[in-house]
């Protein structure tokens, strides 16, 4: 790619970003968009509509930036929990890493790259200069200047490891502090037991009660049995749907009556008929719910939530193997009640294990199948190939602006579209793996999406071959450094464009501006169907955002010494991301769960992987550039990085798996002095009732109280 094409792409994207930012700063001030741009404030009742009209409302402003910038980390912590803080710290960490990298890369490496003569260009024509002249490819083979790159790789690795260590330490201590400051939460006192063995003459809940009151007599509090409620849930969902339709019909009739627009009598009549029909349907479903509810008590599942009187006892029960058979009485720390993922509790140990294996194969399959669109997109950056395949396009492609848009902008846009399909797919795959909490599913999907992205965006683009070809390369590990050294620098321009297009515009501006939802809400408002349902405040989609951020950091780390030109663009990305995500966390996303910073180890591992990938490429590059000594001297670096990682795993990872006995006991003692603890225990005994079972009771009360209301309305 030539410099002007990159500049075109940057230009388009800067324009789009500005447009989005200006539109956002205007639209967010309109009360009508409050549900779109401040759903969190609306949901928490903190949003107060101003009825007076100000002219300033229509003027773009940057006040939101100031407001997003202001809150300290502690305020963010108390406002949105540790996960949000960890998410924001990814940006801070990346800014530090790439701030250092940019200084070294732009001030030291870039001039040396540019002074090289390996690629001979016309020096006067800067505009048409290939981007490659700024990359390591331009350094002469065997040049002593490559030792500067060698030193840069070592120094950069050391700095990243240093930052990683202190970030891990910081977050680990935050995690403990957050635990100490937290109110008693049901999940801290509860374990989930699965694989309750079948005992003849005893129900599962009796077995659980018997087992835990025998072995934990002093601390056992209660258990909530889990039941097979899928049919009940379906019925309740159906009832809810019918109710909603009924309510919609009624409000329409009411509007029509009020407005005196009884209009076409036939149509109105038909609506009244429909209303009767729905009411009848609702009654049928109610009857079904009642029979199902009475039978559900027998549909027990060999799983239960067991609550204890102290956090320490719950931790003991979850850490120690309970039963003689490791597949029976399997315990684990319970998730928050609203975080529980119910569907898989009936599955046996063996089924869950089989599902796990099946999901591994499914992931491999999805990853390989996805190569098809990637390779098609990759073709777009090679216009000559495109011309050969579709000769009739020749005329259009020769237009400069078209060719620049196609090579600079289109490929990453298409890729982006395909990529947006991946997180939901991975969520589905993770959810059938037998996790018990939505947070666990999201974390597992996060890892899956990350590796998927690295494989399908980085490797597929870099190696640009068929799946079989790529697998073949993996089977010849000796050739990997060499192959990567040839292929990775060649894709520098594509990835710079990717950062600008996908990073700046697609990720960040869309995140802020939420164009899809804006159009959707506009359509709903302007067309005939009224929005009864309230726009629910969304939660931060960590499983799609974290991999995206980490992928950019992978690009930055690998291209740091290959094409330092990428770094300023990345820095802009992280600065924007920092502000935008702070804004979103404060205004948009409601924390759905709290893992206590368990996403950080994913970030750590991904960064280590990126470092090692950089080292492998460095080994290959120095070999190709005929400095074999530098190549050999780089070999210890990945080994040192792995050793560093293994140390961090031992030093920090245990803190992220559970809480230490010291903290648990201290916290328990503090609680014992708290007068509210007995009321908390009362709440605890019912905290883990299944939503469908709760809904049943809710449904019954609504039946007795609101149903007459409904009936009275017709």
Residues near its own copies (CB under 8 A): 176, 215, 315-317, 319-324, 326-327, 329, 349, 353, 357, 472, 475-478, 643, 646-647, 650-655, 658-663, 665
CB 463 within 8 Å of CB 491: no
CB of 392 to its own copies, least distance (A): 42
* Count of all residues that appear for the chain in the document: 714
Name the strand (E) or helix (H) holding 308.
strand 300-308
CB 582 within 8 Å of CB 88: yes
CB 47 within 8 Å of CB 41: yes
Distance separating the N- and C-terminal Cα atoms of the chain: 69
CB of 659 to its own copies, least distance (A): 8
Tokens 């210890």 identify what position? 636
Give dist(CA 436, CA 337) in Å, integer: 11
Nearer to its own copies, 408 or 620 (CB): 620
DSSP assigned state of 502: I
Nearer to its own copies, 209 or 545 (CB): 209
Tokens 């509509």 identify what position? 49
Nearer to its own copies, 384 or 476 (CB): 476
Nearer to its own copies, 367 or 539 (CB): 367
List, as one string, the DSSP characters of 350-407.
HHHHHHHHHHHHHHHHHHHHTHHHHHHHHHHT-HHHHHHH-GGGHHHHTSHHHHHHHH
Give dist(CA 333, CA 307) in Å, integer: 10
DSSP assigned state of 186: G
CB of 322 to its own copies, least distance (A): 5
Nearer to its own copies, 329 or 560 (CB): 329
- Ramachandran region, residue 295 (left: φ > 0; alpha: ψ -120 to 50; beta: rest): alpha
Tokens 């959707």 identify what position? 520
Nearer to its own copies, 654 or 708 (CB): 654
Tokens of 711: 């009936």
Find all residues with CB under 8 Å of 475, minimum gap 6, and list them.
none
Nearer to its own copies, 107 or 358 (CB): 358
Other C-beta atoms within 10 Å of 477: how many?
Answer: 9
Nearer to its own copies, 176 or 467 (CB): 176
203: closest CA among 329, 105, 299?
A: 299
3-state secondary structure of 318: helix
Give dist(CA 479, CA 620) in Å, integer: 9
DSSP assigned state of 221: E
3-state secondary structure of 28: coil
CB 165 within 8 Å of CB 645: no
CB of 694 to its own copies, least distance (A): 32
Nearer to its own copies, 277 or 649 (CB): 649
Tokens of 640: 């040192």
Nearer to its own copies, 134 or 659 (CB): 659
What is the bridge-based pairing of β-strands 300-308 and 190-194?
antiparallel
Give dist(CA 331, CA 351) in Å, integer: 17
Nearer to its own copies, 440 or 696 (CB): 440
CB of 646 to its own copies, least distance (A): 8
CB of 477 to its own copies, least distance (A): 5
Please list the residues that pair with 112 across neighbouring strands: none
Chain centroid to CA 264: how far? 50
Nearer to its own copies, 364 or 396 (CB): 364
Give dist(CA 499, CA 91) in Å, integer: 15
CB of 600 to its own copies, least distance (A): 15
3-state secondary structure of 251: helix
Percent helix, percent strand, percent coil in the chain, to nearest 5? 75, 5, 25
HEC profile of 86-118 = HHHHHHHHHHHHHHHHHHHHHHHHHHHHHHCCC
Nearer to its own copies, 193 or 386 (CB): 193
Nearer to its own copies, 424 or 658 (CB): 658
Name the strand (E) or helix (H) holding 128.
none
CB of 89 to its own copies, least distance (A): 20
């Amino acid at each position: 790619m030539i410099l002007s094409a990159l500049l075109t792409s940057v230009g388009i994207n800067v324009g789009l970003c500005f447009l989005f930012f200006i539109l956002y700063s205007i639209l967010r001030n309109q009360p009508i968009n409050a549900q779109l741009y401040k759903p969190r404030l609306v949901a928490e009742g903190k949003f107060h509509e101003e009825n007076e009209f100000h002219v300033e409302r229509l003027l773009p402003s940057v006040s939101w930036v100031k407001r997003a910038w202001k809150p300290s980390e502690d305020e963010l912590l108390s406002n949105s929990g540790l996960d949000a803080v960890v998410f924001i710290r990814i940006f801070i960490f990346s800014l530090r890493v790439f701030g250092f990298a940019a200084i070294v890369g732009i001030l030291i490496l870039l001039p040396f790259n540019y002074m090289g003569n390996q690629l001979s260009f016309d020096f006067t024509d800067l505009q048409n200069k290939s981007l490659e002249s700024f990359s390591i490819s331009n350094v002469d083979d065997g040049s002593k200047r490559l030792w500067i790159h060698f030193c840069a790789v070592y120094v950069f690795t050391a700095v990243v490891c240093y930052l990683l260590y202190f970030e891990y330490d910081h977050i680990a201590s935050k995690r403990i502090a957050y635990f100490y400051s937290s109110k008693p939460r049901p999940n801290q006192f509860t374990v989930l037991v699965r694989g309750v063995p079948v005992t003849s003459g005893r129900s599962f809940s009796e077995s659980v009660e018997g087992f835990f009151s025998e072995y934990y007599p002093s601390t056992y509090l209660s258990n909530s049995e889990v039941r097979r409620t899928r049919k009940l849930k379906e019925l309740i969902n159906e009832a809810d749907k019918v109710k909603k339709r009924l309510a919609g019909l009624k409000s329409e009739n009411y509007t029509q009556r009020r407005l005196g627009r009884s209009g076409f009598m036939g149509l109105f009549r038909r609506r009244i008929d429909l209303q009767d029909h729905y009411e009848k349907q609702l009654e049928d479903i109610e009857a079904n719910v009642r029979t199902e509810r009475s039978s559900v008590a027998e549909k027990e599942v060999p799983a239960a939530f067991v609550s204890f009187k102290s956090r320490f006892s719950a931790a003991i029960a979850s850490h120690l193997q309970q039963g003689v058979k490791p597949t029976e009485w399997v315990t684990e720390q319970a998730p928050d009640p609203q975080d529980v993922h119910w569907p898989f509790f009936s599955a046996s140990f063996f089924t869950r294990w089989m599902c796990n294996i099946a999901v591994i194969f499914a992931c491999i399959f999805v990853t390989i199948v996805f190569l098809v669109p990637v390779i098609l997109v990759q073709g777009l950056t090679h216009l000559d190939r495109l011309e050969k395949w579709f000769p009739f396009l020749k005329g259009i492609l020769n237009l400069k602006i078209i060719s620049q848009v196609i090579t600079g902008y289109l490929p990453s846009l298409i890729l982006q579209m395909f990529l947006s399909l991946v997180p939901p797919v991975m969520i589905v795959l993770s959810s059938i793996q037998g996790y018990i909490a939505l947070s666990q599913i999201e974390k597992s999907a996060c890892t899956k999406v990350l590796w998927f992205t690295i494989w399908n965006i980085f490797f597929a683009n870099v190696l640009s071959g068929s799946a079989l070809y790529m697998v073949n390369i993996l089977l010849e590990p000796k050739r990997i450094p060499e192959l990567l050294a040839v292929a990775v620098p060649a894709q520098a321009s594509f990835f710079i464009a990717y950062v600008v297009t996908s990073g700046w515009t697609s990720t960040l501006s869309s995140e802020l501006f939420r164009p899809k939802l804006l159009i959707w809400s506009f359509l709903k408002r302007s067309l005939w169907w009224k929005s009864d349902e309230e726009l629910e405040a969304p939660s931060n989609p960590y499983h799609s955002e974290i991999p995206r951020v980490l992928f950019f950091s992978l690009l930055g780390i690998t291209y740091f010494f290959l094409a330092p030109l990428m770094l300023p663009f990345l820095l802009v990305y992280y600065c924007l991301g920092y502000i935008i995500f702070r804004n979103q966390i404060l205004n948009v996303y409601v924390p759905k769960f709290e893992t206590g910073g368990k996403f950080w180890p994913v970030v750590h591992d991904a960064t280590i992987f990126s470092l090692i990938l950089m080292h492998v490429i460095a080994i290959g590059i120095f070999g190709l550039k005929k400095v074999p000594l530098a190549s050999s001297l780089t070999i210890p670096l990945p080994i040192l990085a792995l050793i560093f990682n293994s140390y961090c795993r031992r030093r920090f990872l245990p803190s992220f798996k559970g809480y230490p006995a010291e903290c648990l006991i201290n916290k328990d003692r503090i609680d014992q002095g708290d007068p509210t603890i007995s009321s908390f225990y009362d709440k605890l005994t019912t905290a883990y009732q299944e939503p469908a079972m709760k809904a049943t009771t809710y449904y019954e009360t609504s039946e007795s109280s609101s149903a007459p209301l409904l009936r009275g309305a017709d």
